[in-house]
Amino acid sequence: MAEQTAPVTNAPTELWVERTGTRAYTGRSNRGAEVLIASQGVPGAFTPGELLKIALAACTGLSSDLPLSRRLGDEFDATIRVSGDADRENELYPQLDEVLELDLSELDEAARERLLVTVQRAVDKVCTVGRTLKAGTKVTLTFDIDA
């Protein structure tokens, strides 16, 4: 049975986090998605840095899915591993490394090379998370308080 997906909409997605405990939050969207966020070591929860890395890997996967499925078929397996240690003195990730794991054993060397170039171009062109991280972005914080 084919997996069903929700219809795609162009309406902006609302995102927020709600505090659920000491250094623990639940991230939510107006589409009903939830993710647990907490300090490192809390079972079942991601840290914000882990979510950043997962967002990058997921963006790479989604960006590469179409060219890969065109060449390998809809049922191909892919895993994107992402890593990078935080620089705790400056509180940033100086480098994030991704590894896209694929079985290309059915392709000859020239076809593999062409596919990998196509995938790299697709990721470079449409992976918003990767493009944002490479370019940097302005982040603002405002306050809405009860006085």
What is the reported pLDDT for 7? 63
Residue 2 has pLDDT above 60, yes or no: no
Residue 124 has pLDDT above 70, yes or no: yes
What is the reported pLDDT for 120? 98
Helix (H, G, I), strand (E, B) or coil at 90: coil
Task: Please report, for the domain that includes residue 101, its CATH number.
Answer: 3.30.300.20
Cα separation, 63 vs 67, whole angstroms = 8
Are 54 and 97 found together in one domain? yes
Within a domain: 1:
no
Cα separation, 134 vs 119, whole angstroms = 18
Cα separation, 117 vs 123, whole angstroms = 10
Per residue in 66-86, pLDDT tens?
Answer: 999 999 999 999 999 999 999
Within a domain: 2:
no
Distances (CA, A) of 53 to 41, 83, 84, 126: 17, 7, 8, 17
Residue 134 has pLDDT above 90, yes or no: yes
What is the reported pLDDT for 6? 57
Are 21 and 57 found together in one domain? no
Per residue in 3-61, pLDDT tens?
Answer: 556 566 688 999 999 999 999 999 999 999 999 999 999 999 999 999 999 999 999 99
What is the reported pLDDT for 11? 86
What is the reported pLDDT for 67? 97
Within a domain: 96:
yes
Within a domain: 141:
no
What is the reported pLDDT for 10? 80
Q: Whole domain around residue 25: which residue ranges?
A: 13-45
What is the reported pLDDT for 45? 98
> Which two tokens mark 38?
């907490």
- Confidence (pTM): 0.89
Using pLDDT thresholds of 50, 70 and 90, give the confidence band for residue 116.
Answer: very high
What is the reported pLDDT for 128? 97
Selection from 117, 119, 99 nearest residue 57 by Cα: 99
Are 65 and 75 within 8 A, CB to CB?
Answer: no
Total number of domains constituting the chain: 2
